[in-house]
Structure 1
Amino acid sequence: MQHAGGPNPYKVAIIMEELGVPYEYKLHDFSSMKSEAFLKLNPNGRVPAIEDPNTGIVLFESGAIIEYLIDTYDNEKKLTYDSFPEKYQLKSWLHFQMSGQGPYFGQGVWFKHFHKENLPSAIERYQNEAKRIFGVLDLHLGRNKTPYLLGDKATYADLAFVPWLWYRERLFGELPDPTPDFPHFAAWAERLMARPSVQKMHALLKKNTGQ
């Protein structure tokens, strides 16, 4: 697996840890991700990307990689359901993470810490969108009265949300962490954070980024 220090590669690593899939990882800086060698793996010049020697496939985009890992290595259905409609409902939550939580958190952290101009309106927008995501998850979990998004087991869809949640402090900064305002979401996040795979990857992220 090829990756840098951001959250998205750790989504993939958590899934591999949960499934017991052996892997090696290689860290990349921004310049190496623009090299011809890396662009052959990911034409978008971003991480993560994987090369699977068992099948010969090369893939990029964390959501696509996760779906591949589930289809190829989750024979016991540890992190998924093969029943209808649950199989497709999980895909809805994965796509919601990819199109909602990831971009909103990413843009929020960018405007708060890296953008050359201070744009409070942009920061506020993405903080509010992050809280909206919390609200969507909280409403669903409270309405369904289940410990996870679908039923009583953590799936790949639940776990996909985890790495960006590690960045709540960076996104909200001096503001109070809004998580307690969403009790069903907060309890769900706490359950996920306690998993050994999540704790291992969080420690690795801190090591790789010097946090």
Structure 2
Amino acid sequence: MTGIELYTAPTPNGWKISVALEELGLPYTVRPVNLIAGDQRKPEFLKLNPNGRIPVIVDHDNGGLVLFESGAILIYLAEKTGRLLPKDPAERFYAIQWLMFQMAGVGPMMGQANVFFRYLPEKIPVAIQRYQNECRRLFEVLDVRLGQAQWLAGREYSIADIANWCWVRTYKWSGVSIDGLTHLRRWLDAMKARPACQKGITIPVKLPEIGAGTHDDEAFAKAAQALVQR
């Protein structure tokens, strides 16, 4: 077998890798992981990632190299192709810096906001407010940066933009407003217009767009669950 196998599910962390692969034009085979059925806890998957999380890649063009953790995979793919990481030393580390910002801040805080705002049957207002407020604060940090430069690393589009966009684009699901964040909104629109971003978020299945038209959040939740189970 040649090319890359991508073990993934329709989540922001999974989308990071499918978007990057689409941007880079690398051949890949999708291996859907049914999170609801518990595929991520099966022995065959745990051999690939003992932490039992998606995404995972297997690069058959590099001796069957197995990698997990979306940030590590993004750096690997960028270095493999010489793209999506700036050549300028300062901007390269700006890209890595903003990638780490997403990994350590945006993803975990939005994930917790989702749990308390959407999924727990018992609503705990203080927890909901705490995580939504922190998400908004992080969005404001991004807005400041994007008021200084077109892309998070500076002049060049990079893996930092991919990683942050895949999470921030779901702000409505977390119940967080981006009102007044004009630079962040400009960037969100620019990202959404990219063909690779449009395609990447349909892997492994296409979900309804959050907040689009007559869409309601309950329908999104049901669709997401049904599609993951396929």
TM-score, scaled to structure 1? 0.89
Task: Tell me by how many angstroms 1:159 deviates.
Answer: 1.2
Confirm or deny: 8 A CA contact 2:92 2:153 kept in the other structure. Answer: no
Structure 2, unaligned runs of 5 or more:
1-5, 209-222
Q: Within the alignment, does 1:81 sit opposite 2:77 as a pair?
A: no
Distance 1:72 1:59, change over 3 A: same
Task: Tell me by how many angstroms 1:148 deviates.
Answer: 1.0
Task: Tell me by how many angstroms 1:84 deviates.
Answer: 1.7
Task: Tell me by how many angstroms 1:170 deviates.
Answer: 1.3
Q: Within the alignment, does 1:59 sit opposite 2:64 as a pair?
A: no
Confirm or deny: 8 A CA contact 2:10 2:201 kept in the other structure. Answer: no
Q: Within the alignment, does 1:94 sit opposite 2:93 as a pair?
A: no
Task: Tell me by how many angstroms 1:141 deviates.
Answer: 1.9
Match of 1:11 in 2: 16
Over aligned residues, Cα RMSD in angstroms?
1.7
Task: Tell me by how many angstroms 1:180 deviates.
Answer: 2.9
Range with greater deviation from structure 2 (1-10 or 163-172): 163-172
Letter in 2 for 1:127: Q
- After TM superposition, list the pairs within 5 Å mapping 1:144-163 onto structure 2: 144=148, 146-163=149-166
Match of 1:168 in 2: 171
Instruction: Quote the Cα distance in structure 1 between the aligned partners of 2:12 and 2:125.
Output: 24
Structure 1, unaligned runs of 5 or more:
none
How big is each residue's C-alpha offset from its partner over 1:69-107, in whole Å with a ceiling of 9 and x where there is no partner? 01112x3x3x22122222112111000000011001111
TM-score, scaled to structure 2? 0.82
Range with greater deviation from structure 2 (193-202 or 96-105): 193-202
Instruction: Quote the Cα distance in structure 2 between the aligned partners of 1:183 and 1:202.
Output: 23
**Identity value in percent:** 37
Task: Tell me by how many angstroms 1:166 deviates.
Answer: 3.1
Aligned residues: 202
Task: Tell me by how many angstroms 1:150 deviates.
Answer: 2.6
- Structure 1 residue ranges, 4+ long, deviating more than 2 angstroms after superposition: 150-153, 201-205, 207-211
